[in-house]
Chains A and B, each alone.
Chain A
Amino acid sequence: MSQEPNTRYIVRETVAEAPGVSTLQLSLSNGSVPKYIPGQFITVYAPELGTPEGKAYSISSAPHEKTLNITVKDMGKFSHYLCSRKPGDEVEGSLPYGYFFSESHTSPLALICGGIGIAPLRSMLQAAAHDTPRRSMTLFCSNRTEQDIIFKNTLDELQEADKNLRILHFITRQPAEPPMVGGRINAKTILESLNDKKDAEFLLCGSISFVRDLWRDLRSEGVPEEKIYTEAFFSH
């Protein structure tokens, strides 16, 4: 029952990340944050909206950062409510939960996201830069337009600082200027871009259709099921 509404978070700051996308920086009332593993989520509750069930939001911060952040795309009643929270407001939620993470600390990682699916991957990238900077990681990041890229400055800084991190941006709805790539991500491109395909693990995050299609595509290219982790988002 780890997703129960047993934790009160205080909104410390809100940050506009991209059009319609905000990060809520949260902590407990004493200023601390609960322990978590990059890739986990919290379930947020807002019974005042008439929805007793909670909605899951991936944590976008890394454990060494001062706040526990969730990054929310304003696309429905619930997410709009969250995006309109102000510093000092309370948010009812669960403790961090979930299993979207590799148990290895050394395997090369292919992180693959569409849009807001970057949220848990930012957590992994920040944590790796802090804890395991030698780990080989490649981020494949798909967005409709360049303006939609979430955490663009952070991603640029991470890539600049870590030669073992490679970031490839895919733009699907406007002409892409190199080094950005035009069109959708596909398994062939992912596999051709990896130096160590054999030991790599693949973490997919995005909409249900994005994750399903890439999961199938990777499987059809011979990637074993047990090498693929998935986290699919639904609209709230």
Chain B
Amino acid sequence: MKTNDNLCTDGTNWLYSDTVKDHFFHPRNILLDEKNYVADGVGVVGSPACGDMMAVWVKVDIGTLRITECVWRTFGCASAIASTSMMSLMATEDGGMTLSRAKRMTPEAIIERLGGLPDRKYHCSVLGHLALREAIQDYEEKNVART
């Protein structure tokens, strides 16, 4: 099958890559109801009144300090859904990222894995990245408080 994965790699057009479409239609690690979900760290950024909103919950292996679960929910557009889905995949694949490595995840790395995003949708990848940073910070603050 022909792929269009490089169609928006320079950020100038509005064609979404196959990877973006896949993650939008089949989002990974989405959490629809957090009522019974016990997370080690939570990050919430944005505001529904102002546009997009993003919440990320992480579970962390206390021995290895690797992210074992990264789930999320957003009030946002297709790009926000696809980029956060990809972010959650990157954070947990191959045994999970260490916290120190996950803190260095950039929007550019997420967009690269998505096969590009239109420049006007760049901020969508920032939301997931910031929510993950907040979730890690929340985990670290709680664990400093415990020691």
Contacts and interface: CB of A to CB of B under 8 A. Distances in A.
B11 A212 contact: yes
A53 B119 contact: no
A232 interface: yes
A99 B103 contact: yes
Interface in A220-236: 225-230, 232, 234
Interface string B16-56: 00000000000000000000000000001111011100000
B106 interface: yes
Q: Is the interface of A mostly helix, strand, loop or mixed?
A: mixed
A190 to B, nearest CB: 16
Interface stretch (B62-70, B71-79, B80-88, B107-115): B107-115
A95 interface: no
Contact of B111 (A212, A225, A228): A212
B50 A54 contact: yes
A92 to B, nearest CB: 13
A225 B106 contact: yes
Contacts of A232: 107, 122
Given A52-B49, A232-B122, A99 B109 contact: no
A229 B46 CA distance: 21
Interface in B83-122: 100-101, 103-109, 111-112, 119, 122
Contacts of A52: 49-50
Interface in A22-58: 52-54
A176 B122 CA distance: 32
B135 interface: no
A3 B123 contact: no
Interface of B: 10-11, 44-47, 49-51, 100-101, 103-109, 111-112, 119, 122-123, 130, 133-134
13 contacts: A1-B44, A53-B51, A99-B103, A99-B130, A99-B133, A103-B103, A209-B119, A212-B108, A212-B111, A215-B108, A216-B112, A229-B106, A230-B107
